[in-house]
Amino acid sequence: MSKILVLYYSRTGNTEKMAKAVEEGAKTIQSVEVELEYHVLPEMLSNFDAIAIGVPTYHHDMTIDIKNLFEEAAIKNINLRDKIGAAFGSYGWSGEAPRLTLEIMKNKFEMQPIEPPLLIKYTPDQIGLEKCRELGRRIAERLMHKA
């Protein structure tokens, strides 16, 4: 069974709402196991076939938690090559964090990204949450075609 990790950081709850909707969407596809996590150790990343990271943008950057996760994974040579990667997040005025996250997944870890990242300004409304569910479905469907 293919495994998807939906990992997120959320201070205001906006990115958490998005993460839960991504999880819901991914779970609509059979033969996919989905884990929603707020924190994982770098070594755990290799246990998943796809990784979706929800990261809000604060001060034109990603949060330190996600940045540290990537740095530790790189230092420990965690192999994520050819795993499916996706990024999403809320923002107030700039929205760089999901873009930076996807760039790291693609260029540093050689993951297969789903582009572009999903950005939602401030609090996700019903349309935004449906876009999150669709991202989850796209991740799961891509896994099924990869298998």
Q: How far apart are CA 62 and CA 68, in angstroms?
A: 10
SS in 3 state form for the chain?
A: CEEEEEEECCCCCHHHHHHHHHHHHHCCCCCEEEEEECCCCHHHHHHCCEEEEECCCECCECCHHHHHHHHHHHHCCCCCCCCEEEEEEEECCCCHHHHHHHHHHHHCCCCEECCCCEEEECCCCHHHHHHHHHHHHHHHHHHHHHC
Per-residue pLDDT reduced to its tens digit, 112-144: 999 999 999 999 999 999 999 999 999 999 999
How far apart (Å, rounded) are the C-alpha atoms in residues 64 and 75? 16
- Residue 57 pLDDT more than 70? yes
For tokens 């990784």, the residue is: 51
> Across residues 60-75, what is the average pLDDT?
95
- Spatial separation of the C-alpha atoms in residues 50 and 27, rounded to whole Å: 13
Least Cα distance to 10 among 54, 40, 67 occurs for 54
pTM of the predicted protein model: 0.96
Return the pLDDT at 73. Answer: 98
Q: Could you give all domains of the chain from N- to C-terminal order, each with its CATH number?
A: 2-146 (3.40.50.360)
Q: Is the pLDDT of residue 147 over 70?
A: no
Quote the CA–CA distance of 56 and 9 in Å, as a whole number.
Answer: 7
The overall average pLDDT reported for the chain is 96
- Residues 32-55 have pLDDT tens digits of 999 999 999 999 999 999 999 999
